[in-house]
Amino acid sequence: MQGRIFADMVFRDNGPSEDCLYLNVWTPANSADAHLPVMVWIYGGGFQAGAASEPRQDGENLAHKGVIVVSFNYRLGVFGFLSHPDLTKESPHHASGNYGLLDQIAALEWVRKNIAAFGGDPANVTIFGESAGSMSVSALMASPLSKGLFKQAIGESGGAFSLTPRDESVSQTGKTGTAFAESMHATTLEELRAKPAEEVLEAALHGKGRFWPNVDGYFLPENAARIYAAGKQAHVALLAGWNADEGSAAGFFGKEQPTKENYEAKIRSQFGKDAEKILKLYPADTEAEMKMSARDLASAEFIAYSTWKWLDMQVKTGESPVYRYHFEQAPPMPAGEPSHGAYHSSDIEYVFQTLDWKHLAWTAGDRKISDVISSYWTNFAKTGNPNGAGLPEWPGYNKKDRFTVMHLHDADGSTTHAAADTERARYELLDRVAREREKSAAKTKP
C-alpha cells in the first residue's frame, strides 16, 4: 500500500494491496547442490514507496554472473511504521513501529531456510539496497535480530545516521501515531483496524505525521550511532558509497537566487560559529566553485554524510574489510532535457545491468561501467572482496590505504580508478557539527 510519490518508479505488479509480502528469486543453478552466493536486494523509496516489481531492479543479469538474486516487498508508510502506545502495550516485546524492518528480517529468515532448494548457500548471503534500502542495510547491521542472517553488506546512498538530530524514540513516534488515530476519529486500535486500508492510506498521505523507522527497543535497542560506536553492529564486510549529484545547487538555494551573497548567508544561518570553517572547505571564489560547493553540501545534508558516517563507524569499530565508492556516471537524459549528473538513484540500472528498460541513448561507456560495477558487486557477494580479473584494483577504505575511494565512471576520457579520499576534512567537520547539534538537542529536551 502506497501513494504515487515518485514518478521514476514503474511497477509490473497488479497494484497496491495489503497482501504484499512476496519475494522473487532469480537463480542460475542447475541443482540444489550448487551452493551459490546469494544477494538479497532491499528497494528504496523513503520508506514510503517502492516494490520488488520494478524493471530496473530485475535480478536476471546479475544472476548470470554466478549469484542468486532475491528481492522482496516490505510494508511502507503508515502500514510499515505506525507506532502507537496501545500497539506497544499489546506487543510481547513492548515495541511498536518498524514493521517494515521486521518484514525484512522475515525475508532474510525465509532465505536462510529455503534458498538451498534454489541452489543457494544460506551461509553466504549479501544484503544490498539503495537509499531507504541502504539505510535498511545499515540498520540491519545494527539490529540484534539479524544476527547470522547475512555475511556481507552493500549500501548505495544512505545510512541510519543524520546531520540533524531526530527524536526517534518509541515514546515520541507513539505520540505521532496517537495524533494520527485521533485524526481518523479512532479512539481504540479496534476502531483503527476497522478502517478500510485505502482510507488509512489517504489520511496518512495528506496528514502531518511522517511514518519512519524508530528506536523501538526491539529491532533497535538504541539508536544506530550508539550501537556502532560501541562496536555492537555486525562485523561483516561492507561496500558502500554514494553518487556525485545526490543533491543539487538548485536544491541548496531553494527559492533564493544562486549568488555568492546568498550562499554565504545560508552557510552562516545553518552553521553559526562553524560557518567560516565550512566556507573554507566549501569555497565560493567563483560562480562555478560556488555551485559545486552548494551541490556538495546539499548532497551531504541529504544522504552523503549519513553514508560516510556509516563507513567511518564501521572502520573504527568493525573488524571486517570496508570498501568505499563514488558513483560519477551521468546517465543520458530524454531528448531536450538537460543532464542532472549522477543523480540520486541513477546507479540502480548500472548495478543491475538493466539499462535497456529505459529507451535512452546509452553509450558504450555506460554499458562498460555497468558491467564493471555489476562485476564488483557480484565478486563482493562471492568473497567479501570486489576485486577480480580484468577490473581496476579496488583498495580497502582504511587509514593504511589512505581511505581510498573507488571512482566509478567511464565517460569524457576518464575511467574507473582508485584515489585517496580528498573530502575527509569536510566530513570530519560535518561530523563534529552533527555531534554538537545532538548535544544541544539533548539539553533542550523536556
Q: Compare 330 and 439 and report the one with higher pLDDT.
A: 330
Asked if 60 is an active-site residue, the reply is: no
Name the catalytic one among 344, 370, 374, 407: 344
**DSSP of 302-323:** IIIHHHHHHHHHHHHH--S-EE
Evaluate if pTM is beyond 0.85: yes
CATH number at residue 307: 3.40.50.1820
| Mean pLDDT score across all residues of the chain | 95
Helix, strand, coil percentages, rounded to 5, for the chain: 45, 15, 40
Asked if residue 15 belongs to a domain, the reply is no
Contact in structure between 25 and 68 (CB atoms under 8 Å): yes
Asked if residue 11 belongs to a domain, the reply is no
Asked if residue 335 belongs to a domain, the reply is yes
Please state, in angstroms and as integers, the Cα–Cα distance from residue 404 to each residue in 153, 247, 322, 396, following that order. Answer: 19, 23, 10, 6
Q: How many angstroms separate the CA atoms of 362 and 199, rounded?
A: 42
Strands 322-327 and 237-243: parallel
The pLDDT assigned to 445 comes to: 65
How many structural domains does the chain have?
1
Rounded to the nearest 10 degrees, what angle do helices 260-271 and 287-299 cross at? 30
Query: Which grid coordinates are listed for 31?
Result: 541443482
- Mean pLDDT, range 229-250, rounded to an integer: 97
Domain span at residue 237? 23-444
Please state, in angstroms and as integers, the Cα–Cα distance from residue 194 to each residue in 87, 197, 324, following that order. Answer: 15, 9, 47
Asked if 428 is an active-site residue, the reply is: no
- Mean pLDDT, range 146-156, rounded to an integer: 98
- Mean pLDDT, range 222-243, rounded to an integer: 97
Name the catalytic one among 130, 168, 246, 349: 246
Q: Residue 240 forms beta bridges with which residues?
A: 155, 324
Give the sign of the dihedral formed by CA 177, CA 183, CA 185, CA 187.
positive
For 281-298, b/e burial (b = at least 16 CB within 10 A) is bbebeeeeebbebbbbbb
Maximum CA pair distance of the chain? 65
Asked if residue 8 belongs to a domain, the reply is no
Q: Evaluate if residue 446 carries a pLDDT over 60.
A: no
Contact in structure between 118 and 202 (CB atoms under 8 Å): no
Asked if residue 13 belongs to a domain, the reply is no
Query: Which grid coordinates are listed for 393?
Result: 584494483
Asked if residue 405 belongs to a domain, the reply is yes
Asked if residue 88 belongs to a domain, the reply is yes
Asked if 287 is an active-site residue, the reply is: no
Asked if residue 12 belongs to a domain, the reply is no
Name the catalytic one among 131, 299, 345, 375: 131
Structure confidence by residue, pLDDT tens digits, 403-434: 999 999 998 778 999 999 999 999 999 999 99
